[in-house]
Amino acid sequence: MRYYKHLYLMEGLEKKKEKIIRKLEENKFQMNIHIITLAQNEENHLEIYDSRLLLQPSFPHEDFFVVGIVKGYEDALELVEEITQEVYNETKGADIRSYILEKEQEV
């Protein structure tokens, strides 16, 4: 997995960011942690995954580009809404994928 350099985090997770990422990388169980990734299908923008799904041995998570980490599905939906609003405010459009990839390339 790769992580967005401007990773979106739910309020309160900032201090736990490194620990959560380490557990994701080590395939450790994390209750109620959800990740928001760029969609695997390039026609879409974002996808939400419960971190427990990543524990499945056959689940292909190497290709994920994680843009956000939250606790709970409801917070994941809220964060997707916030990301969408940010993209619209900055670009007056809704191309989330391009916006995130461009910001990732900035120095």
The residues spanned by each domain of the chain are 2-105
* Secondary structure element (H or E) that encloses residue 45, with its range: none
Q: Is 72 left (phi over 0), alpha (psi -120 to 50) or beta?
A: left
pTM of the model: 0.90
Beta-carbon-side half-sphere exposure of residue 43 (alpha carbons within 13 Å): 0
Lowest-pLDDT choice from 62-66, 77-81, 90-94 = 62-66
Tokens of 25: 């990388």
What pLDDT does residue 63 have?
81
Mean pLDDT for 19-39 is: 93
pLDDT digits (tens, 9 = 90+) for 39-75: 988 889 999 999 998 888 877 767 899 999 999 999 9
